[in-house]
Structure 1
Amino acid sequence: MPFFVIESQVGLSSDIKAKLASEITRLVHDIIESELDLVSVIFHDLPADSTYRAGKPTREAILLGYIRKGRKLETVQRLALSISKCWSDITGMSENEIELAIAEYPAEVTFRYGARLPEPACV
């Protein structure tokens, strides 16, 4: 853990996805001090008619992050804002077309490699 699931219909190339995954991984490592090998980024490509807001079609991207609980609110907010800016910078989409949420889960119910993950650094 942490992992980020990205729902998008913007038709990102493999190169752009690789750049986003690399930069999101770096931001997660730098800001919340997660080990690099624990960070996953998953892309879901959606057909053009798959996102709506207020009943009207949009081309917005939804970024859902999942991290272990225990970090300062300011740190989690800085991570979210940094990832939003990263997405905008790399894809060219306005931050007005991005919705991003980060959910936190207790470490005692978070597992990777068949073992419970330790408590996160309190940054």
Structure 2
Amino acid sequence: MPVHTCTTAQGTLTAEIKAALAAEITRIHAAVNRVPPAYVDVVFSELPVDSVFVGGEPGRPLLISGWARRGHPQEATTDLALRLSAAASDIAGVGWEHVLVVIQDSPARSAVEGGRVLPEPGAETTWLEP
């Protein structure tokens, strides 16, 4: 259900760092939003070094853009963003000042997974029934 896309310049993250970061993003999201870890998707997008800029200058930020179903408390979403930012900085060895996390949301009914409209937060058990 939730999707977190980590965007960096090519060569910024090793395969081992990506695996560790994906595992930690999954763990944090599942804990904060109380969803099964299997629901969490993490995708890495690496752009050519000459395609990533910060303040108009070439840069190597770690940008995490997340999507979740609307309805989670705002405090939980802020906590999620803070925890993801700290984990990304620690695991990737990127200074916190070079990490940006943005969590966007939309109604569950705006997304379809496995051919079915997603459930509202808290209704996952019913959604899993055949």
**Does TM-score exceed 0.5, indicating one fold?**
yes
Instruction: State the distance in 2 between where 1:99 and 1:22 align.
Output: 19
Displacement of 1:53 after TM fit? Answer: 2.3
- Give the match for residue 52 of structure 1: 53
Q: Choose between structure 1 and 2 for higher RCO, CA contacts under 8 A separated by at least 6 residues.
A: 1
Task: Provide, for residues 12-64 of structure 1, a one-character-per-residue CA deviation record: whole Å limited to 9, x for no partner.
Answer: 11111111111100000000112222110000112222221221122111110
Q: CA RMSD in A?
A: 1.4
Task: Provide, for residues 58-83 of structure 1, a one-character-per-residue CA deviation record: whole Å limited to 9, x for no partner.
Answer: 21111100000001111000000000
Q: TM-score, normalised by structure 1?
A: 0.93
Q: Secondary structure at the match of 2:101?
A: strand
Q: Secondary structure at the match of 1:49?
A: helix
Q: How does 1:26-37 map to 2 (within 5 A)?
A: 26-37=27-38
Instruction: State the distance in 1 between where 2:122 and 2:97 align.
Output: 31
- Percent identity between the aligned chains? 34
- Give the match for residue 42 of structure 1: 43
Structure 2 letter corresponding to 1:41:
V
Structure 1 segments of 4+ aligned residues over 6 angstroms from their partners: none
- Give the match for residue 8 of structure 1: 8
Structure with more helix by fraction? 2
Q: Secondary structure at the match of 1:119?
A: coil
Aligned residues: 122
Displacement of 1:121 after TM fit? Answer: 3.0
- Give the match for residue 84 of structure 1: 85
- Give the match for residue 103 of structure 1: 104
Instruction: State the distance in 2 between where 1:72 and 1:57 align.
Output: 36
Q: Name stretches of at least 5 consecutive residues in structure 1 with no aligned partner.
A: none
Q: TM-score, normalised by structure 2?
A: 0.88
